[in-house]
Amino acid sequence: MAEARIIDGKRIAERLRLEIGDEATVFRKKTGIRPRVVFILVGSNPASEVYVRNKGLAAEEAGFSHETILLDESTSEAALVDLIHTINNDPATHGLLVQFPLPHHINEEHVINALAPEKDVDGFHPINAGRLAIGKGHYFAPCTPAGVIEILAREKIEVSGKHAVIVGRSNLVGKPLAMLLAQKNPRANAVATLAHTGAGARLPEITRQADIIIAAMGVANAITADMVKPGAVVIDVGINRIEDATKKSGFRLVGDVDFEAVRHIASAITPVPGGVGPMTIAMLLRNTLTAAERQTL
């Protein structure tokens, strides 16, 4: 079998960001309003700092107004929640994102519940999760699962009626992605199976039934060639650091899929890096623009 087509998530994300920038320009000319998103970062976490900086740059490129609020590690949960309520009540701010993880003394669930659902552009609030589950009303889907759906649609990968197996049951990726794939709409309508560690030794048996495999468990190279049906589409959400003495940094990034082995079995596959990752920020911009439209028009 020929090698799999490599899905260029970076290229798809760049195109999407340009489209969103154009739509934001039209929105601004129509309303006089720039979509605005606020990022809150508590404490000093180098990875989070880079991620928030990249989100801000993407917002700037799309013509959005944005602000990053940096809070000290010792900031209390009450102070953070008070700040969130203040931003919730600011009509000029359309999207609000609190960067996780938070310091150990702050309860993430309390913080998520404090977000106004209409400004929760990360799609974490229980109201957004509930509306996603029933597929009705205004809601925001978490950005990474939404990015996977966007990749499948833009790559013209048939989803309707196909068996999609998602490996990983997190609230951030696995569960919402299963619900998105099972929705009855032109971009979905799949038979979605949510697999996880509870499958134990049966996991390969389950994944070999899949027309589409989405790996989202956070374990390096966990999906091996013997777990993939020939011709399946493989979407790798994982990003893991493994030691590599040949690299100056001493490590390299790999996904949850054994890419070099699986690329000879699959019909299409996303690489790591450069696959799903760039789509997450692009979908954050999409959610922010949608939030601005809903709150303005």
The pLDDT, as a whole number, for residue 100 is: 95
**Catalytic site residue from 120, 122, 211, 258:** 122
How far is C-alpha 11 from the geometric centre of its chain's CA atoms?
Answer: 16
Whether 119 contacts 138, CB under 8 Å: no
pLDDT at 58 over 90: yes
Burial 195-215 (b: 16+ CB within 10 A, else e): bbeeeeeebeebbeebbbbbb
**Catalytic site residue from 30, 82, 90, 99:** 99
Whether 238 contacts 219, CB under 8 Å: yes
Confidence category of residue 1, pLDDT binned at 50, 70, 90: low
Amino acid in position 89: N
Instruction: Give CA–CA dist 84/100, Å, rounded.
Output: 14
Instruction: Give CA–CA dist 123/112, Å, rounded.
Output: 10
Which residue do the tokens 């966990």 mark?
222
Q: What is the mean pLDDT of residues 260-280?
A: 97
Judge whether 122 counts as a catalytic residue. yes
Judge whether 90 counts as a catalytic residue. no
Q: pLDDT by residue (tens digit) across 133-188?
A: 999 999 999 999 999 999 999 999 999 999 999 999 999 999 999 999 999 999 99
Q: What is the mean pLDDT of residues 41-57?
A: 93
Q: pLDDT by residue (tens digit) across 231-251?
A: 999 999 999 999 899 898 888
The pLDDT, as a whole number, for residue 266 is: 98
Judge whether 29 counts as a catalytic residue. no
pLDDT at 2 over 70: yes
The pLDDT, as a whole number, for residue 249 is: 87
> CA 16, 124, 283 angle in degrees (round to 5)?
0
Instruction: Give CA–CA dist 139/243, Å, rounded.
Output: 40
Instruction: Give CA–CA dist 296/282, Å, rounded.
Output: 21
**Catalytic site residue from 8, 29, 30, 55:** 55
Q: pLDDT by residue (tens digit) across 212-231?
A: 999 999 999 999 999 999 99
The pLDDT, as a whole number, for residue 184 is: 96
Q: What is the mean pLDDT of residues 84-113?
A: 97
Q: Helix, strand, or coil here: 18?
A: helix
Q: What is the mean pLDDT of residues 189-213?
A: 97
Q: Helix, strand, or coil here: 241?
A: strand
Model pTM score: 0.96
- Give the mean pLDDT of the chain: 96
Instruction: Give CA–CA dist 49/47, Å, rounded.
Output: 5
The pLDDT, as a whole number, for residue 297 is: 78
| Domains in the chain, CATH or no CATH each | 32-118 (3.40.50.10860), 142-278 (3.40.50.720)
